[in-house]
Structures are given as structure tokens and as C-alpha cells.
Structure 1
């Protein structure tokens, strides 16, 4: 029996996060995308909790090395049920062809309901639309601080190739992706951001990281101008980001982005510079 199906591990360290990883046994049909293949875990630090789900490659060898992808969900999937964060994107990594072609560790953390992945002030306008004002400094949010602790834990405790650490996200998670890239400038080998945004003053901090940026031109939640200005600033700084803008897509441009046949091959082709 595979060790992941029977193990319940408890790690306690003084002045460090308390990690509880609960790996449950499930019979997985090779032709069925069963989200329960994502094992449940929790990071607890000083009373704050970050639920997460983790998918291991088939035949995972704890003595081997694997690329790892951290995926940040959108605002609608916040909470503590450790399930909603799998709503968008998780099924992509469960297809037999993807798991065979890209044997990687995939981690989906869940942001607390009262927090946000990035430092951004959101103001509601009279017409119902929202304006996003991205910050360039300041302490990370609770969600981001816990996420960065989770990254540290995964890199220490799992069989990770530290030259192949990746990040991606959608909407709030794309905003968090940009923030994580600027806060951990030497960590990630590449990343992707779907319908997100950032302050252009932050772009120079991650211009060295290969990025693929997606957005729907009809997005009425996070306007595509937020991605356009980031792409323009990256290019001004000499970077060569991938950029895909869907003329007819609204906010759910992640559907089209996840369907891009070259996304994962592009992502996993990069190693840390």
C-alpha cells in the first residue's frame, strides 16, 4: 500500500508552524477525475490556520526530486472548508495525460475568508464596479504570510527540486502571484497570472521571472488594463513575457487559459536562473 494513503503526520517545532497532514485512502479510478486525490493538510501558526490540498505525482518517491506548483485561487473560494479552492484548475492536474507528462507536486492553499492574497485596496464605485489600488510596500496580509510559511514548509519537507518551484493564480490569486514573486524574488522559476493586476512600480522586482499573463478583454470585474500595463512594463524593462488576451472572454478567462495546450509545457520547461 502506498505510504501516502495511510500516513497521518504531526510536526511540532518551537516558534515554528504546526503542520498537520492528513492523507486519506481513496480508491481512484484512472479514468475519473476525483478531487479527493488532493490530500488534505493544515498549516497552523500562532493560532492562524491555512488549509491546503496537495497532489503528489503517481509513484511519488520521498527520496526523489519533483517540480512543485503552488496555485492561488480567487476571492470567491476563500474560507476554511479546504475544498472550495479546488473549484478552478484542480481537475486539470488530475487527467492521466497531464500526470504522466508532468509528474509534479501541486499545492492549492485556501486563503482565510477575512483576508486576501495581496495588499490591495478595493473601492466600490457608484456604478457597482471596483477600483483596485495595489500597494508597493507594507507587511503581507495574513493570507500571504501564511502562504509563504507553507511554501517554506513544503520545500523543506517534500521531495522538491528547488530549481523548479512555480506559482500561478487567478483573479485575487493572480494578484497574489505577483506579490509572492516580488516578496520572494529568488525562489520561483516561472509563473502565470490569470485576470490579475499589480502596481507597475512592483514589476521591476520580478521582471527576471518568466511569466505568462492571461486576461479577458471583456472582464468587468478586474479590467484587462491591469494586465496590459504589467505586460507593457515588463517589456519596457527588457523582459519577454508571454501574454494572451481573449477578445470575447469576461472574468472567467481561466477557462480559456487552462485549455491552452502549451501552458504546462511552457511552465515546467523553466528552471531557476
Structure 2
């Protein structure tokens, strides 16, 4: 989200995307969920994606993590990190959730589709900071990338899901805050936690 700097607790206290996964009434499960909520420095998506990948590799190597179920969820600017990280190291991720984000580019969409990483994109119809056209175009680019690999339009729409919120979905007139209605919808959270990469041969 938009919290960067030296206060290493603000993103935990303020960001629903960090805390929602610890709410069984939202996630539909009482299983343990490990949440990493790093702050960005806005030095560019590619550079920060490299740092995110390094963090994940180190964390997975040191702690008991189910590597078949590693997810990324982002708000606004953080989507740039998700797109870049998913395109560079799709093997790390079982799924992603992008709310009110920046658009994916064609190269990234092709890499994500090649790895078949499921995604759910949500956006406000009248987002005043990031125009909804970016989310619509991202959805189209990703689905086209899947169709280019042989999936039917229906299959592509299932692996790349899209929800667009009308103004009435927002409790406050901040139509950029798509994470609000997204995280109030337990269906989306449960969908993400239900994604898993195939087990490795021999497991």
C-alpha cells in the first residue's frame, strides 16, 4: 500500500490486506497463515521486485513454509512489484490478488500465463487515481495470453478473474480503495487461499 519509510509497523496497523488473513471469519479457515508485509521505497517496480524475491527466497529457506501455497496481494502501487515478481519468478507463487492496481504489460502477461499463475483483479469503476481502463486492459492482456497458449475463453476467464465495483460498493467516497469491498468479500480471500501449485513428482 502507500506506506513507505522507517515506521515498520504502520502497514500492519493500517492495511487490511496485511491483517485480513488472520481473520477466520473472512478466510473461512483457522489454519495458520504467515503474513509478510514489507514496505516499498518507490525506487521502481523491477528493482523492488528483485528485493521481494530475495526476501521470499530467504524466508522460505529459513522457516516452515508450504511452498505450494505462497501468494501475493497488493494495493495500488504494490501491483507493480507483483507484476514484475510474477513475471520474473512465477515458480514462487500459487496465486495473486491485485486491488486498485497499475496495469500489467504484455511481456509480463505472457510470462505469467506461461506459468499459469491464477489471478484475481479488482478495481473501482470510478477510481480517481488509477483509471479503471488499466485493470480492464490487464484482464484482457492476461486472458489473451492464456488463449494464445490454447485455453478457451472460459478457461482464461476462470484463471484470470475480474471484479469491478460501482460507487455503491464503497463505504467512503474513495473509489481508489478497492481493497475495501474486496476484503469484505470472503469469497475472494477463500479463493486465493484455495490455490496451490501441483505437487512435485515423487511427493
1:115 aligns with 2:43: yes
Q: How far is 1:191 from its partner?
A: 0.7
2:79 is matched with which residue?
174
1:220 is matched with which residue?
128
Asked whether the 8 Å contact 1:187–1:272 carries over to 2, the reply is no
Q: How far is 1:201 from its partner?
A: 3.3
Q: 2:39, 2:32 → 1: CA distance?
A: 23
Q: 1:243, 1:95 → 2: CA distance?
A: 23
2:6 is matched with which residue?
80
1:245 aligns with 2:164: yes
Give me the CA root mean square deviation.
1.8
1:200 is matched with which residue?
106
Task: Flag the 1:159–1:205 CA change in 2: closer, same or farther, 3 A.
Answer: same
Q: How far is 1:245 from its partner?
A: 0.5
Q: How far is 1:100 from its partner?
A: 4.5
Indicate which of 16, 22, 25 corresponds to 1:94: 22
Q: Which structure shows the bigger proportion of residues in strand conformation?
A: 1
| CA displacement, residues 152-181 of structure 1 (integer Å, 9 cap, x when unaligned) | 111101101111111110101122111110
| CA displacement, residues 70-108 of structure 1 (integer Å, 9 cap, x when unaligned) | xxxx2x201121022222223323335448534221110
Number of positions where the alignment pairs a residue of Structure 1 with one of Structure 2: 175
TM alignment of 1:254-265, pairs within 5 A:
254-265=179-190
Q: Which structure shows the bigger proportion of residues in helix conformation?
A: 2
TM alignment of 1:22-37, pairs within 5 A:
none
TM-score (norm 1): 0.60
Long gaps (5+) in structure 2: 148-155, 199-203
SS at structure 2 position matched to 1:193: strand
Task: Flag the 1:102–1:228 CA change in 2: closer, same or farther, 3 A.
Answer: farther
Indicate which of 68, 78, 81 corresponds to 1:163: 68
Q: Report which of the two structures shows the higher radius of gyration computed on alpha carbons.
A: 1
Asked whether the 8 Å contact 1:93–1:99 carries over to 2, the reply is no
Q: 1:115, 1:236 → 2: CA distance?
A: 30
Indicate which of 89, 98, 106 corresponds to 1:184: 89
TM-score (norm 2): 0.79
Q: 1:105, 1:204 → 2: CA distance?
A: 29
Higher relative contact order (CA 8 A, sep 6+): 2
Q: 1:190, 1:162 → 2: CA distance?
A: 12
SS at structure 1 position matched to 2:70: strand
1:151 is matched with which residue?
56
Q: 1:164, 1:201 → 2: CA distance?
A: 25
Q: 1:100, 1:231 → 2: CA distance?
A: 29
Asked whether the 8 Å contact 1:194–1:215 carries over to 2, the reply is yes
Q: 2:139, 2:24 → 1: CA distance?
A: 33
